[in-house]
């Protein structure tokens, strides 16, 4: 250890110098030595250049890939948003045309009412009304001892809302008499999914983030006690105590929920004529 820290020079240089002072070397050997020295230094130069090229080629490659993927994701999200808005507008136009065509007769008017109800129930059109807002959020985590900042959305800590928590809340809300629900701005249709991929929760394959705001349209006076008494709400209340998550239910006089992404039937065919 001591030798390592004190003698940095190859001991060979000293020995060679001593040998040389005893017996001078021939000019031929000197030329040969200079040649090998040049060769070795050439090799070292190439080595350094190659290592540099490797280092610069590798790091930006990873960064470039990540940036390209992120751009891709954003572009696709914008595209689906635009298509979704277009679909909603077309849907509204279609409904208006349908209503105009049908309202000439009493039976037609009844059919229009029934269609409008069904469209609302299947989340094909935006709806509005009074109801509840349920907000759940991840626990803040323990504050950093140096900075005092609470880490947000750290997927490694306990107290993270999971996809099954959101699904349980949504199911309890349906059971309490909800007529329309949106999670993080995503309207739920009869075939909606809530699942997780990596650290993110996806509602119909669109990511939502904490705090999760669940908007519910329904009879608030009836839904609130029923939901508060449900298993999902009771366990969440326990988690508030245990892990420090946030969980809040409040009434809202006026809520507007968007339409859900349109579902197309691929295998099921409606049986009988639609009345």
Partner 1 sequence: MIGAAALVVGLVLGIVFRPTVPIGLQPYLPIAVVAALDAVFGGVRAALDGIFDDRVFVVSFVSNVLVAGLIVFLGDHLGVGAQLSTGVVVVLGIRIFGNVAAIRRHVFRA
Please report whether residue 59 would count as binding partner 1 according to CB under 8 A: no
Please report whether residue 48 would count as binding partner 1 according to CB under 8 A: yes
- 206-208/200-203 β-pairing: antiparallel
Size of the site for partner 1 (CB under 8 A): 34
Please report whether residue 4 would count as binding partner 1 according to CB under 8 A: yes
Please report whether residue 40 would count as binding partner 1 according to CB under 8 A: yes
CB of 22 to partner 1, least distance (A): 14
Q: Which one, 42 or 197, has the nearer CB to partner 1?
A: 42
CB of 68 to partner 1, least distance (A): 24
Please report whether residue 5 would count as binding partner 1 according to CB under 8 A: yes
**Residues near 99 by Cβ (< 8 Å), separated by ≥ 6?**
112, 116
Q: What angle do CA 25, 26, 30 make, to 5 degrees?
A: 80
Q: Are 215 and 133 in contact (CB under 8 A)?
A: yes
Choose, by CB under 8 A, the member of 23, 51, 64, 89 that binds partner 1.
51
Q: Which one, 34 or 197, has the nearer CB to partner 1?
A: 34
Q: Which one, 18 or 265, has the nearer CB to partner 1?
A: 18
CB of 54 to partner 1, least distance (A): 6
Please report whether residue 266 would count as binding partner 1 according to CB under 8 A: no
> 6 to 35, contacts with partner 1 by CB under 8 A?
8-10, 12-17, 20, 30, 33-34
Please report whether residue 54 would count as binding partner 1 according to CB under 8 A: yes
Report d(CA 109, CA 116) in Å as an integer. Answer: 11
Burial of 186 from C-beta contacts in 10 A (0-12 / 13-18 / 19+) = buried
Q: Which one, 53 or 107, has the nearer CB to partner 1?
A: 53
Q: Which one, 35 or 155, has the nearer CB to partner 1?
A: 35
With CB under 8 A as the contact rule, which of the stretches 49-57, 118-126, 145-153, 264-272 interacts with partner 1?
Answer: 49-57
Please report whether residue 42 would count as binding partner 1 according to CB under 8 A: yes
Please report whether residue 2 would count as binding partner 1 according to CB under 8 A: no
- Name the site residues for partner 1 (rule: CB under 8 A): 4-5, 8-10, 12-17, 20, 30, 33-34, 36-54
């Amino acid at each position: 250890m001591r030798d390592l820290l004190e003698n940095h020079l190859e001991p060979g240089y000293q020995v060679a110098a001593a040998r040389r002072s005893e017996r001078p070397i021939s000019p031929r050997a000197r030329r040969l030595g200079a040649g090998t020295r040049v060769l070795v230094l050439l090799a070292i130069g190439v080595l350094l250049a190659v290592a540099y090229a490797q280092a610069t080629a590798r790091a930006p490659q990873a960064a470039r890939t990540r940036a390209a993927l992120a751009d891709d994701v954003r572009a696709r999200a914008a595209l689906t948003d635009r298509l979704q808005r277009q679909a909603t507008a077309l849907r509204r136009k279609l409904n208006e045309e349908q209503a105009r065509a049908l309202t000439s007769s009493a039976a037609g008017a009844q059919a229009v009412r029934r269609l409008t109800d069904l469209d609302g129930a299947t989340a094909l059109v935006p709806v509005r009304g009074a109801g509840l807002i349920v907000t759940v959020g991840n626990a803040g985590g323990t504050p950093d001892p140096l900075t005092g900042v609470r880490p947000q959305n750290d997927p490694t800590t306990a107290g993270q809302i999971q996809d099954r928590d959101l699904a349980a809340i949504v199911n309890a809300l349906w059971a309490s008499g909800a007529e329309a629900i949106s999670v993080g701005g995503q309207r739920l249709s009869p075939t909606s999914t809530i699942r997780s991929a990596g650290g993110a929760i996806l509602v119909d394959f669109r990511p939502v983030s904490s705090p999760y705001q669940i908007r519910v349209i329904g009879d608030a006076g009836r839904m609130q006690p029923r939901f508060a008494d449900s298993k999902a709400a009771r366990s969440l209340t326990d988690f508030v105590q245990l892990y420090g998550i946030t969980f809040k239910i409040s009434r809202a006089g006026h809520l507007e929920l968007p339409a859900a992404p349109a579902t197309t039937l691929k295998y099921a065919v409606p049986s009988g004529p639609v009345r």
